[in-house]
């Protein structure tokens, strides 16, 4: 099951494919869904969604790319990054161990902490 959504019409044409992101990109995964009522142990009906967001020069967000993940794993994010982000781009992540591999795959990798995101100088 692979579904990719783009919030804006693609513009780039790089090795990662038409519409690939170039420059500064934030990469993460989120969970969409609800907790099942009455399910043992508060079972969750969540779906993992991988997210890539362009960071524009004026501190605004650009295009957004979403893709459903079969399972929640940072290794899935690495493959997703390779499909939607051009080599040479700077990828900002939460610093999960598997995501450190991005630096060896032609990307600049930066660990983005919550503190950095909230207190980044203008």
Taking a C-beta distance cutoff of 8 angstroms, is the pair 52, 21 a contact?
yes
* Nearest one of 109, 77, 74, 103 to 90, comparing CA atoms: 109
* Nearest one of 102, 82, 106 to 92, comparing CA atoms: 102
* pTM (2 d.p.): 0.71
pLDDT at 119 over 60: no
3-state helix, strand, coil in the chain (%, to 5): 25, 40, 35
- pLDDT tens digit sequence for 58-115: 888 999 999 998 877 778 899 999 999 999 999 999 888 889 999 999 999 998 765 5
CATH architecture of structural domain 4-34+44-119: 2-Layer Sandwich (3.30)
């Amino acid at each position: 099951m692979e579904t990719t959504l783009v919030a804006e019409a693609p513009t780039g044409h790089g090795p990662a494919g038409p519409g690939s992101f170039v420059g500064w990109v934030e990469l993460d995964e989120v969970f969409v869904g609800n907790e099942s009522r009455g399910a043992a142990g508060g079972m969750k009906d969540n779906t993992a969604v991988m997210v890539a967001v362009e960071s524009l020069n004026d501190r605004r967000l650009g295009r957004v790319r979403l893709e459903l993940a079969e399972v929640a794993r940072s290794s899935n994010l690495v493959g997703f990054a390779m499909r939607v982000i051009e080599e040479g781009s700077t990828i900002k992540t939460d610093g999960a161990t598997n995501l450190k591999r991005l630096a060896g795959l032609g990307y600049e990798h930066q660990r983005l902490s919550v503190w950095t995101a909230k207190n980044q100088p203008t």
